[in-house]
Amino acid sequence: MSALREIAGPFVVAPPAGTRVRTRLRVSGVDAAVLREVGGYLGSLASADLAARCAEGRLDAEQRARSRRVRKQELTAKSSSRWAGALTRTSEDAYQLAHRNLLAERRSLLARIKRIEARLAVTAGQRARDVAAQAATGAIRYDISLDPARGRWYLDASWKMPATVPITLGQARQGTVVAVDVNAGHLAVAVLDPDGNQVGVPHTIGLALAGLPSSTRDGRLRAAITSILSTAREHRASAVVIENLNFDDARHQGRERAGSWPSRGRRGRAFRHQVAGIPTAWFRDRLTYMACNTGVAVIAVDPAYTSRWGAQRWLAPMQQHHPSLTGHHAAAFVIGRRGLGLRARRRASGNPPAPEDAEQRPRPKGPRKG
């Protein structure tokens, strides 16, 4: 058996600091030309108003109100009252943000200087600490953007999420977990209790996304995640466990540099097609957002050997009771146990090292032959 690589420890995926949703605007050629003209014209008005506001410098509350009233009247004559209000508010926000950034940079430089001075004053062998805090707002922003390469218009809405106390890995492991094995075309789902035992019957969620429009793919992905979270709610699960998959390197390297994966021929084409069909980042991001809204943590684990050890250790016992289960369900079971901090294999004779953690198996006990 070849040497096994070191398996990274599981971790809780950080809750999102904000979110952004996008939908495509299907516009005619005339509408696209109008949007370009309107965007260019409003952009020129916004640039001129921002320049005028910056030229005024720092103002108190009364002066800011007077300045905005005057600039809004000028912009109303060139556009409309609603656009004038939006442009002047944006200019004021941009100026205040730039001013806060300058102050923050100055404070940061001063803090770094003080920190260096404090470190220089500390005797060798001692340590010192600093502490930072961050606040969030509930503002919502809408953007209309054009993808020049595709000629498509998009509408984006983005906002910050309310600050929450992060869930620790220990807290996420205290309850039942739902483990998910992400594959091209489907998801294999298994439920485990805190001791790593199977709860209920593992099942499959169809997720065929190839060749579908973006809106349809997004809808199916959300439906699949909703089904996963429904399973978590049904079993009062504290976390959803997924693999920390990252196929970016495989996508960018192409056929010449694919590591130990097949690169050419039918197996290479099949592998690249499979990689392209697995919505790893899309699924992870959507799951993180939706799970955060339901109070469920997301644990990411190292994907090494989950399929191999699932087929070796768990597939046959699972098929004794449910013959329709596949190796993907066994892999999901190993993913769940890894998220709980357990080995892939459990032995009935106590708790000796598992094969993946030991260099050699323990010798059987018994009388020596004389």
Residue 184 DSSP symbol: T
Confidence band of 230 (pLDDT split at 50, 70, 90):
very high
**99 and 237 together in one domain:** no
Examine the pLDDT at 71 and tell me if it is beyond 70. yes
| Residue 5 neighbours by CB distance under 10 Å | 9
Average pLDDT of the residues in 48-60: 92
Task: Give tens-digit pLDDT for 5-50.
Answer: 788 888 888 877 777 778 888 889 899 999 999 999 999 999 999 9
**Residues 211 and 290 grouped into a single domain:** yes
| Single-letter residue type at 68 | R
Answer with the one of 95, 117, 137 that is the final residue of a domain.
137
What's the mean pLDDT in 189-211?
Answer: 89
Considering the domain boundaries, does residue 155 fall inside one? Answer: no
Q: Specify the DSSP class assigned to residue 162.
A: P
The whole-angstrom separation of Cα 232 and Cα 239 is 8
252 pLDDT exceeds 50? no
pLDDT at 69: 93
pLDDT, tens only, 323-335? 999 999 999 999 9
pTM greater than 0.85 (yes/no):
no
Residues 234 and 325 in one domain: yes
HEC-encoded secondary structure of 213-243: CHHHHHHHHHHHHHHHHHHHHHCCEEEEEEE
- Calpha distance 280→293 (Å, rounded): 20
**pLDDT greater than 80 at residue 64:** yes
Looking at the fold, whether 59 and 126 belong to one and the same domain comes out as: yes
Please give the residue range of the domain that contains residue 226.
166-339
Number of domains within the chain:
2
For residue 204, which phi and psi values (nearest 5 degrees)?
Answer: -120, 140
Same structural domain for residues 110 and 253?
A: no
Q: Decide: 218 and 235 in contact? Cβ < 8 Å.
A: no
How far is Cα 70 from Cα 147, in angstroms, rounded to an integer?
36
Percentage above 70 pLDDT, the chain: 77
Residues 280 and 182 in one domain: yes
Give me the pLDDT at residue 2, please.
Answer: 55
128 and 177, same domain (yes or no): no
pLDDT (0 to 100) of residue 362: 43
Whether 108 maps to a domain, the answer reads yes
Q: What's the confidence (pLDDT) of residue 349? A: 41
DSSP class of 314: T
Domain shared by 187 and 125, yes or no: no
Query: Same domain, yes or no, for 127 and 175?
Result: no
Residue 329: CB atoms within 10 Å: 25
Cα dihedral 352, 354, 355, 361 in deg (nearest 10): 0
**Cβ atoms of 68 and 92 closer than 8 Å:** yes
Numbers of helices and strands, H then E, in the chain: 11, 9
Average pLDDT over residues 224-253: 80
- Closest to 356 (Cα-Cα) out of 319, 310, 316: 310
Q: Which letter does DSSP use for residue 284 in this model?
A: H
Q: Looking at the domain assignment, is residue 365 inside a domain?
A: no
Residues 83 and 170 in one domain: no
Same domain, yes or no: 259 and 174:
yes
Q: For residue 95, what pLDDT is reported?
A: 92
Residue 232 placed within a domain: yes
Average pLDDT rounded to a whole number, residues 111-133: 61
Same domain, yes or no, for 64 and 109?
yes
The yes-or-no verdict on residue 202 having pLDDT over 90 is: yes
Contact 280, 247 (CB under 8 A): yes
Length of the chain: 370
DSSP state of 79: S
What element of type H or E holds 265?
A: helix 265-277
Compute the distance between CA of residue 306 and CA of residue 76 in angstroms, rounded to an integer: 63
Instruction: Tell me whether residue 299 is in a domain.
Output: yes
**Tokens 């196929």 belong to which residue?**
247
Whichever domain contains 271, its CATH number is 3.30.420.40
Q: Is residue 146 part of a domain?
A: no
Q: Mean pLDDT across the chain, nearest whole number? A: 79
Residue 368 lies in a domain: no
Domain membership flag for residue 187: yes
Residues 333-356 have pLDDT tens digits of: 999 999 999 988 765 443 333 344
